Amino acid sequence: MNKNIAEKIWQQHLVHENHGFPDVLAIDFALLHEVTSAQAFKMIEDHGLSVHDPTAFIATIDHSIPTRKNRHEIFDSTAKSQIELLRSNCEKHGIPICDVDSQHQGIVHVIGPELGITQPGMTLVCGDSHTATHGAFGALAFGIGTSTLAHVFAAGAILMTRPKVMKVDFSGVLPEGVFAKDMIMYLIAEIGIGGATGHVIEYTGAAVTELSMEQRMTLCNMSIECGAIAGLVAPDQVTFDYIKGRSYAPKDEQWQLAERYWKSLCSDDNCSYDQTIHLDINQLKPMVSWGTNPEQAVQINQTLPKRTNQNTDSLDYVELQAEQNLTGTPIDWAFVGSCTNGRIEDLRVVADILQHNHIAPHVTMYIVPGSEQVMQQAKEEGLETTFKQAGAEFRMPGCSMCLGMNDDKVPPGARCISTTNRNFIGRQGTGSITHLASPATVAYSALAGHITTSFDQQKRQQEAS
């Protein structure tokens, strides 16, 4: 029978199936961070079990770590104990850790691909909802809960009901100034936050194959925001070129074998899907969220929706009017970073826009690289200098202001335009307001001091006169 890629990967990892019960699925690799792993370690220890294969795991410190220069001094006691516990658990169980200053520390979904761990055809898990990011490589990657992580530690397998598969086909060519971030925000706005519940999404179409690996990661990253279990893109030459030569990538003959197998990982002609959605992006404009969940977003040339019972709380929270334009809304903060948009290509886009410009005096801008490697590269390419000259703060790697779990918080009542993936109430700090957007939109808005998706002509004329 003709199969789609998600079904193929599932089939290849199926250990046991019993009608009416979840399948037993083998897991190739698991990524760990300090927030969700401690309980799972404790569970196996309480049962007198050990980690079945420590080489199938890697840990990093990302959510709670400060992004100021001195990251070793942690004032928050919860953050401090989470980090110390991860270190001691990894040491006890022989799991490698990408610790601070190892040159590999960073956000879990940035370092996996960077190290070449994420490979096509894999099953990969993490106790984190944005694990779908790794699907960009044609892997089946999803977030799991703590007790499931304990199963992976002990057995390298999980119990899971076979998901449905949805095809999202993007046709057209990305217009200038429009990015993968806008594509995924467009999909979520179209189908809603529950639109893909219970499904793995396969992203297909010319607009997807044209994307770089980093853009594909942005696309897959936000799959969870429309309810999907995972999102993936079939691997191709772009994927293979990205992986080749990275630390965990197969070498020599192993590479030849791996590549041959990876090339077989595509959906068969005439395979079936549980749902199919077509979106054309030829006319797509940059997307900006206005509300308190990621489906509450518009293309920049559209006005906010009419007030309804469903959106009235959101409109009131964000202090915006129904049917207004977003362009021109004053902002206080601008944030570039996270597992959605904290990679080197994102930083290059931002630097291009900030170059020879200065951010608005009332705006605070944080630019936080997704990993130590991204940080290093940004320094070498001179991006750090550009950021500083523009008045932005270039910080140390971590999740930072994506969620208020560390020292970086948007103050109460302040409005932030952000490259992150969630605009939930208080996500960036109690009482803060978030607008999700692409790195380009965040950079333009930081310069103008209000939401905009291009160089602000009015401001430029004022400056020139």
Would you tell me which residues interact with ligand SF4 (CB under 6 A)?
62-63, 107, 128, 130, 338-339, 399, 402-403, 420-421
CA–CA dist 123, 75 (Å, integer): 37
Q: Does 367 bind ligand IPM (CB under 6 A)?
A: no
Biggest alpha carbon–alpha carbon distance for the chain: 75
Q: Does 148 bind ligand IPM (CB under 6 A)?
A: no
Return the DSSP state at 36.
Answer: T
Region of 112-120, 122-130, 161-169, 233-241 interacting with ligand IPM (CB under 6 A): 122-130
The 3-state secondary structure of 113-151, one letter per residue: HHCCCCCCCCEEEECCHHHHHHHHHCCEEEECCHHHHHH
Q: Which does 432 bind (CB under 5 to 8 A by kind): ligand IPM, ligand SF4, none?
A: none
Q: Which does 258 bind (CB under 5 to 8 A by kind): ligand IPM, ligand SF4, none?
A: none
Which of 5, 35, 191, 433 is in the footprint of ligand IPM by CB under 6 A? Answer: 35
Residue with Cβ nearer ligand SF4 (62 or 214): 62
Residue with Cβ nearer ligand SF4 (38 or 300): 38
CA–CA dist 208, 230 (Å, integer): 16
CA–CA dist 251, 381 (Å, integer): 29
Q: Which does 384 bind (CB under 5 to 8 A by kind): ligand IPM, ligand SF4, none?
A: none
Q: Which does 35 bind (CB under 5 to 8 A by kind): ligand IPM, ligand SF4, none?
A: ligand IPM
Residue with Cβ nearer ligand SF4 (354 or 402): 402
Angle at 207 (CA atoms; ends 205, 212), nearest 5 degrees: 115
Region of 128-136, 248-256, 385-393, 443-451 interacting with ligand IPM (CB under 6 A): 128-136
Q: How far is the CB of 63 from ligand IPM (least distance, A)?
A: 5
Q: Which does 338 bind (CB under 5 to 8 A by kind): ligand IPM, ligand SF4, none?
A: ligand SF4
Could you give the residue ranges of the DSSP H alpha helices within 237-371? Answer: 237-243, 252-263, 312-318, 338-341, 344-354
Q: Does 128 bind ligand IPM (CB under 6 A)?
A: yes
Angle at 33 (CA atoms; ends 32, 39), nearest 5 degrees: 80
Region of 87-95, 126-134, 144-152, 241-249 interacting with ligand IPM (CB under 6 A): 126-134
Residue 389 burial (CB count, 10 A): 13
Return the DSSP state at 275.
Answer: E
Beta bridge partners of 31: 58, 126
45-104 residues in contact with ligand IPM (CB under 6 A) are: 63
Q: Does 408 bind ligand IPM (CB under 6 A)?
A: no
CA–CA dist 431, 158 (Å, integer): 38
| Nearest CA among 90, 89, 93, 63 for reference residue 76 | 63
Residue with Cβ nearer ligand IPM (130 or 151): 130
List of residues contacting ligand IPM (CB under 6 A): 35-36, 63, 128-130, 143, 403
